[in-house]
């Protein structure tokens, strides 16, 4: 996983430098501390998929370019076979699979997200990012924390929200939860 983080970080750094954007400007645009961003580009810190999406927007590139090093080529349709989405292990407990990495000029980023259960004492980490998000649970039970609310979602349930508000998720019930996340 550490190698993948370094590969993505190196691509972000290279694209930022090619775009003539300073580290401080990038950090401000995605609303994180400059030191944290520097540490990410050095390959020492992980960064969320939503922040990677923001970086891609600032750089005016497709998220797939940052994740894979290749530009998407499909513009009418793309098929992602079971288990073949571009894997993104971004943070502990979360595994993302990009479901439309090969589609050019997407208006949203769909992911299959698998969340491992946390220890009872572990706090749910919260984050925010511009735009909106929709999450649809396909397996397990997912606790979503947003804007002071704890919402339990079961298989078949969904939530749509303004993702600029602090939010986070955790699998509950002692087993992993899986959901489709669409970030717009």
Structure confidence by residue, pLDDT tens digits, 104-122: 888 898 999 999 887 766 7
77/105 Cα distance (integer angstroms): 11
**What is the assigned CATH class of domain 86-183?**
mainly beta
Q: Please tell me the distance from the alpha carbon of residue 92 to that of residue 110, in angstroms, as a whole number.
A: 20
Q: Which residues of the chain have pLDDT under 50?
A: none
Distance CA 71, CA 104 (A): 8
Name the segment(s) of the chain with CATH classification 1.10.260.40: 2-68
**What pLDDT is recorded for position 118?**
78
Cα of first residue to Cα of last residue in the chain, in angstroms, is 26
For the stretch 14-38, pLDDT in tens is 999 999 999 999 999 998 899 999 9
* Ranges for all domains in the chain classified under CATH 2.60.120.10: 86-183
Rounded distance between C-alpha atoms, residue 146 and residue 123, angstroms: 14
Q: Residues near 68 by Cβ (< 8 Å), separated by ≥ 6?
A: 86, 101
Residue that is written with structure tokens 């919260």 in the block: 126
C-beta of residue 122 within 8 angstroms of C-beta of residue 83: no
Highest CATH level, class, for 2-68: mainly alpha
């Amino acid at each position: 996983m550490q190698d993948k983080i370094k590969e993505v970080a190196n691509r972000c750094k290279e694209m930022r430098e090619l775009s003539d954007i300073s580290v401080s400007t990038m950090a401000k645009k995605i609303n994180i501390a400059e030191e944290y961003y520097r540490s990410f580009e050095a390959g020492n810190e992980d960064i969320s998929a939503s922040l990677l999406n923001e970086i891609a927007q600032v750089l005016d590139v497709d998220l797939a370019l940052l994740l894979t090093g290749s530009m998407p080529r499909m513009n009418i349709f793309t098929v992602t076979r079971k288990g073949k989405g571009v894997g993104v292990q971004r943070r502990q407990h979360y595994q993302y699979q990009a479901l439309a990495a090969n589609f050019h000029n997407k208006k949203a980023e769909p992911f299959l997200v698998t969340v491992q259960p946390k220890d009872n004492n572990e706090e749910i980490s919260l984050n925010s990012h511009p735009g909106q998000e929709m999450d649809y649970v396909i397996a397990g039970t997912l606790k979503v924390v947003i804007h002071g609310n704890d919402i339990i979602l079961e298989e078949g349930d969904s939530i749509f929200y303004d993702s600029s508000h602090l939010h986070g998720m955790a699998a509950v019930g002692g087993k992993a939860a899986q959901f489709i996340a669409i970030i717009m």
